[in-house]
Amino acid sequence: MGTLGLTPSQPLEPAALAINLLLSGALAYLLGKHFSYFGSTFSNRNKFAYVLAPIALTTCLVISVVKASLALSLGLVGALSIVRFRTPVKEPEELAYLFMAIAMGLGFGADQRLPTVIAFALILGLLTLRAALQKRSAYPNLYLNIEMPGPHDDGAPVGELLELLTEHVETVDLRRLDIANNTLAATVYLDCKDADKLVAVQKALEAKYPDASVTFVEQSGMPGV
């Protein structure tokens, strides 16, 4: 009987696998650094960048093993059907970098080293150029934490606070609001373009709410972020 055109299993070469894994790890490291520096998501970018290398390395290993074994390649479809993301990826930018890490693993696992390196360089070059052309905020991922003594049963100061902030910054997004023990605590995301506007916000808050506790936190500069 014939083999239906299927190629027999080929032994996996350890030297080639090691080279492909090293290349995958090196490019995934650069990809993670690029995301940490140029990414614009509100999540912990360093922690997300850390997982890109394991994803690329694992994908490279899987493709390397599968292409060397016909039985494993046929069983891969069923095996992958049980894989699920425990934590959904909500940011499109994070999803794009995940696909890039997987694509690198696929390319190196298939021994397409030069095309993968060239494509990686072009894609990262275009992303870097786009980020350079875009005007970056002086204080990205800046959060305002404010606590105002009450009473605030009706929550009316929230609208006044957001209106005041809108007069000075481009983007105002209420992320958290707590009203307890006659104290109103709010966390607001701000897109502040320069230091002068930040100072103006601080002075306006001090004038409007002299008894309030005000804290500005830049997420990208926090420890472990």
Q: What is the pLDDT of residues 126-158, one digit of tens each?
A: 988 887 776 555 555 678 888 888 665 555 678
Q: How far apart are CA 159 and CA 156, in angstroms?
A: 6
From 64-68, 96-100, 108-112, the region with the lowest mean pLDDT? 64-68
For 17, 36, 39, 67, 195, the CA distances from 118, given in Å and listed in that order, are 20, 22, 22, 23, 40
CB neighbourhood size of 84 (10 A): 6
Q: How far apart are CA 109 and CA 176, in angstroms?
A: 45
The answer to whether residues 101 and 56 touch, using CB atoms and an 8 Å cutoff, is yes
From 71-85, 102-116, 178-192, the region with the lowest mean pLDDT? 71-85
Q: How far apart are CA 23 and CA 105, in angstroms?
A: 9
Does the structure show a pLDDT above 70 at 105? yes
From 102-106, 122-126, 145-149, the region with the lowest mean pLDDT? 145-149
User: From edge to edge, which strands make up the β-sheet containing 171-180?
Assistant: 171-180, 183-192, 139-149, 213-218
Q: What is the 3-state secondary structure (H, E, C) of 112-151?
A: CHHHHHHHHHHHHHHHHHHHHHCCCCCEEEEEEEEEEECC
Q: How far apart are CA 150 and CA 160, in angstroms?
A: 14
Does the structure show a pLDDT above 60 at 9? no
The domain made up of 139-221 has a fold known as Alpha-Beta Plaits (3.30.70)
What are the extents of the domains in the chain?
A: 14-133, 139-221
Q: At what angle do helices 92-109 and 113-133 cross, to 10 degrees?
A: 160
Higher pLDDT, 36 or 18: 18
For 4, 31, 107, 115, the CA distances from 119, given in Å and listed in that order, are 34, 13, 10, 6
pLDDT digits (tens, 9 = 90+) for 108-119: 988 899 999 999
